[in-house]
Structure 1
Amino acid sequence: MDIAVPLKNTILNASEDLIIVLDDTGNIINMNSAWEKIETVNEFVPLIVKNSNFTDLLESTQNYEQLDSIQQILRGDTDEFQKKFTISIEQKQYYYLFRTYKLTLSSNRVGAIIIYSAYKQEVVSEMKNILESMTDAFFSVDKSWNITYINEYGKTLLSQVLPSFNYKSSESPSLLETEFFPFLQQVMLEQETRQQEIFIPSIPTWFEVKAYPIAEGGLSVFFHHIAERKNIEKDLRNLAYFDFLTHLPNRRMTYDLLQRKIKNGEPFSFFYIDLDGFKLINDMYGHTRGDAILVEMANFFNQTIKVDKVVSRVGGDEFVIFTDEVDKKKLSIIANKLVQDFQEISESKSVPSIPLSLSIGISRYPQDASNTDLLFRYANVAMYTSKKRSINNFSFFEYSMIEEIERKVHIENELHGNLKDTAIHFVVQPQFDSTNNEVIGVEVLTRWIHPKYGYITPPEFIGIADNSGRIEELTKYLICEVFSKVSKWIQDYGFNKPVAINITPKLLGNRKFFNDLIHFIQFYNIPPQMVDIEITENANLDTDQNILSNIAFCRKYGIRLSLDDFGTGYSKLADLVDFPIDKLKIDKYFVDKIGKETNAELILHTFMNLAKGLKCDVLAEGVETKEQVDYLNSLGLTYFQGYYFSKPVSLEEFEQTYLINN
């Protein structure tokens, strides 16, 4: 604040504040009349006289902070300064605001104007009322750690922390003896507001403490119980990090523990375990039974493995075990013990007709991966490898497993694209009557010569299509490609032989697919009796009502029905009674046994007698030698399919060989 003209006494005297004007040396050159109206406010008021040096007075009374601010003004370092102060006189506290501003004197000299504004006692009383009504406990201390004020709730809580505490008694235990002190001392030293949660073991309970530095030294401290909040936080932490059913660490906790071990460079091994058969138990017997089994499994894993380990539940029926052991031989012993011990007790944990088994995958740090995500992924990959091999099995992760998965993903992605852009194509294998070597029908087969993987077997890519939901599109693509060709054969050559198309069990229950099939038959003008649907023997003909309905739907239109791979599946003989099968196709497995195993030949006899009783045709698949043909002819079987007669050929080659040339 610059003042370019002399201040008039009347201006100064109009203010109720205490005002002093200093020259550039700190001498008092003016002061207002408010000073004459007060008695003692502090220890140096009686010493203030006109023309005395005010900076010397401040120094002699140790008011260093005010002195320093005035000297900064006089040096020209700053233009103004203000701060609140308290002072104790005769056991009473007085509150005032100290302000000082730059004052321009003649000859470009710099002086200062100082203003003391007093707080009214009513404000202090109001503050006390507020402090007493707070839900927080409160106390204030001076720079010597003496309590200068404490509200009633503060007295109550501090008495809990220190039972013999009495803030009025000089013999009472000091704050220095409480768990609060290290925290308060830090705030006092750093002069920065802080907040901290502090546990008092003698009660025991938690407090949240907030400390604010006071300008003239000391602290204002607010604190309150947070035991209920800490209990809630503990419960939330348990929900976040532990499985509520088994009380084992969950996936999140497992991740954190593994990341900690990786950060510390500690080697470990990781078991990923899946409980096969568990979903059926939940579906058939309810979640109460399933939950009980999961709790038993948690106890089983903890009790079976004797080495140091952590057992976690990371999914519905998926468990994880990690241990510091990384030696493959020792890990194999642990895995074998898990499998063997589980086999011994699995009967008691299973339910009728639903056996339980374990599939285990093992990955190791740092041998297999350097981070938690990959270790989880690799152990999971190894676990699914075990699942494919057999029940109650374990596998160590190998990088070839990743190559297999990447291959599967690549194939699946291509199946989800435009099928015309793939190298998928269709061939037919003729079926013959050995009595005259005439073609009696064809079976459509799918082939894929991949530009990267070469020949992909039908079981591989058809299985991927079936599991990824693309089997319907692939089968309809086959039907359209083949029917368009067959329609031409009918028109050009009078072709009238059955065309067999394999339908997977998943499609058998899909009415939309069969509606589309009828549409394609009508669109391409194919006689329905020329369409032969081949279904595998393990289709659920006796349980799936959708399949029963769709088969009846096809028979209504005159479509033929063949049972493929007969003798190797699990269908009941009742299926053959209940469904009008047009043809039984004997699997190559039995044909290969001819001349080698008597039991297989006896079964072939039985098949022929069964077919005669059902009045359906019988065709042998995979016939490769004359001896096989002769033996089957001796049983009365004359319909064949196999390399002895013809390998699968392209649609164009079939047309040239069996239609144009004939």
Structure 2
Amino acid sequence: MKQEKELHMISDVENFDCPKNIDFLENDDEKYRYIVEESIVGIYLVQDEILTYVNPRFAEIFGYERKELIYKKIMDLIYEKDHTLVRANMNRRLKGETNSLRYEFRGIKKDNTVIEIEVLGTQIIYKGKPAIIGSVMDITEQKENSEQLRMAQKVFENTIEGIVITDNKGIIQMVNPAFTNITGYTSKEAIGRNPRILKSERHDRLFYQDMWDSLITTDSWKGEIWNRRKNGETYPEWMTISAIKNDYGETTHYISVFNDITEHIRKEEHIKHLAYFDALTGLPNKFLFGDRLNLAITHAQHHKHMLAVMVLDVDRFKRINDTLGHAVGDMVIQTVADRLDRCIEDGDTLSRLGGDEFMFILEEIKGIQDVIKVIHRIFDALSCPLHIHGHEFHITGSIGISMYPNDGKDLDTLVKNADTAMYRAKELGRNNYQMYTPAMNDNAIVRLTMENDLRKAIERDELTLYYQPKVDIESGKVVGAEALVRWNHPERGRISPGEFIPLAEETGLIEPLGEWVLRQACCQIRQWQDEKGYDIYVSVNLSPRQFQNRNLVEHIMDVIAETEVDPKYIQLEITESCAMENPDHTIHLLQRLKEKGFTFSIDDFGTGYSSLAVLKRFPIDMLKIDQSFVRDLTKNEDDKAIVLAMISMAHSMRLQVVAEGVETSEELSFLMENHCDQLQGYFYSPPVPAEDFEKLWEESINLHDLKVE
């Protein structure tokens, strides 16, 4: 009964005014009531799920005034999903299954905020009925802190960064799994030891002194550092060290977080390599070449030395790419680069600027003789044939040279002048070198102007075709013609084909120019057939660059379809050297065109390096004896013997023979006596416009009356 009385007394909330000092309380009831009222935990009394008493702290926890909570349903303060849990525990206590029970549930404050509650309750008898009295504590912050600690632990254990915690004396207290993954040391091996076990010996004492100075003055340090793994391998880290202080500002621990940046540095180095080195050959590219040349110029200027800049361009490299593809072309460039690299001294530079162009910097040379020695080594290195994928290549190069300080005192001038000299080397037949001279600039300007004008010549209708008759020697009748392009420049007048054809070949303009020639020739054949009834064939030259175009057959057939000319009236001429450069490609291409109805002749026969075993496989119809043999055949016994051999060989292969460059009656007599089939040359007619050719055709029926004197 005493317990029941006491509970009745503390539930009288309205009439109790707490004193300031418990010593003034006159009896135990007042003391108990004071303790309950002033408790830092929430105290409650609940009966039939109705609150009958709460102390101030309980009301504060749930955000209510005390008056609002008296006779309030306890379940109104409990998160709905926890109702079952709370009821079950309350029933267990009311039934006497347990004297007291501690557990956690989620509460609802007056503002609907969810809070975490820890409750300790016990069963009592209040006013003759079972009730529960207990205490509650708001453990929301504690739970949040616990969750944060749990998350921090998870981060600590699962982060990919290595973490080391030391005491203020630098002794390792804790490491995470990533530390072990990176360094190879287990936590057992590391804890209790100094981080010096990771020291790589790559940094001097001053490095570590600066690190500690930063920690002492700023409480942190960060930077790149090289450490050593347990297996002895050194590796780079990006590390951050922070000082941990207590509430009194005293450093208690240091925490170090680090990343293994080996892969990052490797990628940076790779990117740097790509930025400054050629991906195909590994040689310095144009950017690094420029840096090195500027440094070389500064060094030469300071020490009064000479230096040389050389440009090397691989001759006719585009044919390899066009014929065999870029994969083979790349292997050729790699092989050439390797050979060139072995030709220079340490301290000199070989660079690939792209395509088939290489540049050299030769430093501290004494004179041009030092440069020529290097050039001879280069030509010797390139002279050996290359064998790639079953193909044999004979590589040559054209080299241009400029010298510091005579030919320029800055990068742009030296490179420009070396480039100009290289183009001069190409103009002189390739496979040679040229020193820069000031006159070359004038030639380069003329050449550039001509190139620009040639690009516009077709659309401006400045080009025309001339036709040189091909005459049957036995009958004296014109049987065909060779179409030859002529350029009538509006300012310079007639420009020799010897000037603009090589330029067109070198710049790639030969392809649109060659297609224009073929189209014009076909149009002329169509006109002669429709208007004059001529039954005549016209030969058209294919340049080496055209011949290496993979789409040449398609381009030719497009012109044939457009002009509606039977291919049997077109004879395609290719040079001997072009045909023999890649015989398999030549045979394949000629066979495809042969199936369409075209005929073929080999031009300049005898000037190249033909293999008769290969030549007999070509589906050709005619050999043209080069004029260099015809010119002296009446004076030079060797030339006479060569011409006789060519005629005999061609006839044995069932080929016709045409001699070009015939200019005298003596030459004609020799060719007639030895059964040459056709002639072409100034003895009969130079190349003439179409209207003049028509007159020659009409008159040719009288050529059999031609008397040889």
1:423-461 per-residue CA deviation (whole Å, 9 max, x = no partner) reads 221111233456776544322110123346665443554
1:109-155 per-residue CA deviation (whole Å, 9 max, x = no partner) reads xxxxxxxxxxx99999999x979959445789xxxxx9899975699
Say whether residues 1:516 and 2:558 are aligned partners. Answer: yes
Q: Among the aligned pairs, what percent are the same residue?
A: 25
SS of residue paired to 2:459: helix
User: Is this contact kept in 2: 1:433–1:439, CA < 8 A?
Assistant: yes
Say whether residues 1:564 and 2:603 are aligned partners. Answer: yes
Match of 1:233 in 2: 265
Say whether residues 1:269 and 2:304 are aligned partners. Answer: no
Say whether residues 1:159 and 2:186 are aligned partners. Answer: no
Q: Does the C-alpha gap of structure 1 residues 550 and 521 become closer, same or farther in structure 2, counting only changes over 3 Å? A: farther
Match of 1:477 in 2: 516
Q: Does the C-alpha gap of structure 1 residues 396 and 463 become closer, same or farther in structure 2, counting only changes over 3 Å? A: closer
Q: 2: CA distance between counterparts of 1:648 and 1:289?
A: 44
**Paired amino acid for 2:210:** P
User: Is this contact kept in 2: 1:507–1:513, CA < 8 A?
Assistant: no
Deviation at 1:597, TM superposition (A): 1.1
User: Is this contact kept in 2: 1:566–1:586, CA < 8 A?
Assistant: yes
Q: 2: CA distance between counterparts of 1:638 and 1:163?
A: 91
Match of 1:547 in 2: 589
1:519-568 per-residue CA deviation (whole Å, 9 max, x = no partner) reads 2553xxx666544433433454863343232342244xxx5544433333
Matches within 5 A, 1:365-376: 368=407
Q: 2: CA distance between counterparts of 1:532 and 1:654?
A: 18
Match of 2:368 in 1: 329
User: Is this contact kept in 1: 2:594–2:619, CA < 8 A?
Assistant: no
1:374-427 per-residue CA deviation (whole Å, 9 max, x = no partner) reads 766765665676677688754445566677677666666666668232522111
1:179 to 186, 207, 219: 207
User: Is this contact kept in 1: 2:601–2:623, CA < 8 A?
Assistant: yes
Say whether residues 1:589 and 2:638 are aligned partners. Answer: no
Q: 1: CA distance between counterparts of 2:513 and 2:644?
A: 37
Match of 1:300 in 2: 342
Deviation at 1:501, TM superposition (A): 2.3
**Paired amino acid for 2:460:** D
Match of 1:458 in 2: 497
SS of residue paired to 1:590: helix
User: Is this contact kept in 2: 1:246–1:294, CA < 8 A?
Assistant: no
User: Is this contact kept in 2: 1:343–1:357, CA < 8 A?
Assistant: yes
2:488 to 442, 446, 449: 449
SS of residue paired to 1:425: strand
**Paired amino acid for 2:626:** D
Match of 2:687 in 1: 648
1:301-325 per-residue CA deviation (whole Å, 9 max, x = no partner) reads 46xx3x7435667779877653432
Q: Does the C-alpha gap of structure 1 residues 196 and 455 become closer, same or farther in structure 2, counting only changes over 3 Å? A: farther
SS of residue paired to 2:488: strand
Deviation at 1:199, TM superposition (A): 6.0
1:452-472 per-residue CA deviation (whole Å, 9 max, x = no partner) reads 666544355445555666555
1:503 to 542, 552, 555: 542
Gaps of 5+ in 1: 1-119, 141-145, 165-175
User: Is this contact kept in 1: 2:591–2:619, CA < 8 A?
Assistant: no
Normalization by structure 1: what TM-score?
0.57
Deviation at 1:504, TM superposition (A): 3.7
Q: Does the C-alpha gap of structure 1 residues 488 and 329 become closer, same or farther in structure 2, counting only changes over 3 Å? A: closer
**Paired amino acid for 1:229:** I
SS of residue paired to 1:547: helix
Matches within 5 A, 1:120-159: 135-137=162-164, 152=174, 159=194
Match of 2:65 in 1: none
Q: 1: CA distance between counterparts of 2:500 and 2:543?
A: 13
User: Is this contact kept in 1: 2:606–2:626, CA < 8 A?
Assistant: yes
Say whether residues 1:624 and 2:668 are aligned partners. Answer: no
Q: 1: CA distance between counterparts of 2:211 and 2:433?
A: 54
Match of 1:197 in 2: 224
Match of 2:468 in 1: 429
1:419 to 449, 458, 465: 458
Q: 2: CA distance between counterparts of 1:298 and 1:619?
A: 44
Q: 2: CA distance between counterparts of 1:368 and 1:261?
A: 15
Q: Which moved more, 1:646-655 or 1:235-244?
A: 235-244
1:45-74 per-residue CA deviation (whole Å, 9 max, x = no partner) reads xxxxxxxxxxxxxxxxxxxxxxxxxxxxxx
Deviation at 1:592, TM superposition (A): 1.1
Q: 1: CA distance between counterparts of 2:271 and 2:693?
A: 67
SS of residue paired to 1:606: helix
Q: Does the C-alpha gap of structure 1 residues 367 and 206 become closer, same or farther in structure 2, counting only changes over 3 Å? A: farther
Q: Does the C-alpha gap of structure 1 residues 161 and 372 become closer, same or farther in structure 2, counting only changes over 3 Å? A: farther
Match of 2:707 in 1: none
Deviation at 1:599, TM superposition (A): 0.9
**Paired amino acid for 2:604:** D
Q: 1: CA distance between counterparts of 2:371 and 2:655?
A: 53
Q: Does the C-alpha gap of structure 1 residues 531 and 163 become closer, same or farther in structure 2, counting only changes over 3 Å? A: closer
Gaps of 5+ in 2: 1-140, 180-189, 702-709
User: Is this contact kept in 1: 2:172–2:195, CA < 8 A?
Assistant: no
Q: Does the C-alpha gap of structure 1 residues 582 and 368 become closer, same or farther in structure 2, counting only changes over 3 Å? A: same
SS of residue paired to 1:420: coil
**Paired amino acid for 1:197:** E
Higher CA-based Rg: 2
SS of residue paired to 1:513: helix
Normalization by structure 2: what TM-score?
0.54
Deviation at 1:160, TM superposition (A): 3.5
Match of 1:536 in 2: 575
